[in-house]
Amino acid sequence: EAQVTQNPRYLITVTGKKLTVTCSQNMNHEYMSWYRQDPGLGLRQIYYSMNVEVTDKGDVPEGYKVSRKEKRNFPLILESPSPNQTSLYFCASSLSVVGGVNYGYTFGSGTRLTVV
Amino acid sequence: AQSVAQPEDQVNVAEGNPLTVKCTYSVSGNPYLFWYVQYPNRGLQFLLKYITGDNLVKGSYGFEAEFNKSQTSFHLKKPSALVSDSALYFCAVRDRPYGQNFVFGPGTRLSVLP
């Protein structure tokens, strides 16, 4: 089944304790992205990657890191989590452009992170 | 920079009635518009998109959306709502056909009452 898999689904951690949220896709997609979802703010892009070893900041990158060493994996790293990073996080991937048309994202099921 | 507005936080509709979830956008060039749906405890699912061509776009689960360039709108519609349509709906826009910098609206919660 074509899918984007995030782990863990739920995580409670303490301020300052480094954590990694993993994201893997099995569709050979080139583009991958991380979003956070907060009430009233919709989804805001944290980082995105257009291909292996190519990453760039989205709208809210502060406090986050990413890496793209392999096409299928795009982990999100919080070096020193803070309570304002409590949120619902989504990883998404997308086909590369075909004829100028992008077919939209496939999203993971989400990771609910609480930082206390 | 592009932006998306969904003016209603919540839309309530009776089962069997038509539904509309509103979306307006702002982009500097041609808009590329998308609707996604999020069911409880699930990730977002793609519903439909407007890239070019007919202004009326048909998507999954009987949904459709109408692109109106003069009103900069892309409202989501369905002729007859189902209770199972109750979910959170997001409109998204991009100002180019490629690249991944979607801008999402804040979301509209649709409740379909039996």
Interface of B with A (CB under 8 A): 4, 6, 9, 32, 34, 36, 41-46, 49, 51, 90, 94, 97-102, 104-107
Mean pLDDT, all residues of chain A: 90
Predicted confidence band of residue A102 (pLDDT cuts 50, 70, 90): low
Tell me, yes or no, if A44 comes closer than 8 A to chain B by beta carbon.
yes
The pLDDT of A26-32, averaged and rounded, is 89
From A108's Cα to the closest Cα of chain B, the distance in A is 5
Please classify residue A95 by burial: count the beta carbons closer than 10 Å to its beta carbon, then call 0-12 exposed, 13-18 middle and 19+ buried.
middle
Is residue B96 predicted with pLDDT exceeding 70?
Answer: no
Residues of B in contact with A107 (CB under 8 A): 36, 43-45
Residues A91, B4: Cα–Cα separation, whole Å: 21
Tell me, yes or no, if A50 comes closer than 8 A to chain B by beta carbon.
yes
A100: left (phi over 0), alpha (psi -120 to 50) or beta: left
Instruction: With CB atoms and an 8 Å threshold, state whether A104 touches B98.
Output: no
Q: In this predicted model, which residue has the larger pLDDT, A10 or B103?
A: A10
pLDDT digits (tens, 9 = 90+) for B37-65: 998 877 888 899 888 888 999 998 999 99
Is residue B98 predicted with pLDDT exceeding 70?
Answer: no
Residue of B nearest to A43 (CA): B104
Instruction: With CB atoms and an 8 Å threshold, state whether A110 touches B104.
Output: no
Is residue A98 predicted with pLDDT exceeding 50?
Answer: no
The pLDDT of B80-108, averaged and rounded, is 84
Tell me, yes or no, if A67 comes closer than 8 A to chain B by beta carbon.
no
Is residue A78 predicted with pLDDT exceeding 90?
Answer: yes
Predicted confidence band of residue A94 (pLDDT cuts 50, 70, 90): confident
Residues B36, A35: Cα–Cα separation, whole Å: 14
Task: Please report where in the chains the tokens 């003016």 appear, as a residue.
Answer: B7
Instruction: With CB atoms and an 8 Å threshold, state whether B97 touches A101.
Output: yes
Nearby residues of A11 by Cβ (< 8 Å), 6 or more positions away: A19, A21, A111, A112, A113, A114
Tell me, yes or no, if A45 comes closer than 8 A to chain B by beta carbon.
yes
Tell me, yes or no, if A62 comes closer than 8 A to chain B by beta carbon.
no
Is residue A99 predicted with pLDDT exceeding 70?
Answer: no
CA distances from A31 to A28, A72, B104 (A): 9, 10, 17
Give the one of A100, A101, A107 whose C-beta lies nearest to B44's C-beta. A107
pLDDT at B99: 55
Predicted confidence band of residue B4 (pLDDT cuts 50, 70, 90): very high
pLDDT at A101: 46
User: Nearest 5 degrees, angle CA B28-CA A93-CA B40?
Assistant: 95
Give just the sign of the alpha carbon dihedral A107, A111, A115, B4.
positive
Instruction: With CB atoms and an 8 Å threshold, state whether B106 touches A106.
Output: no
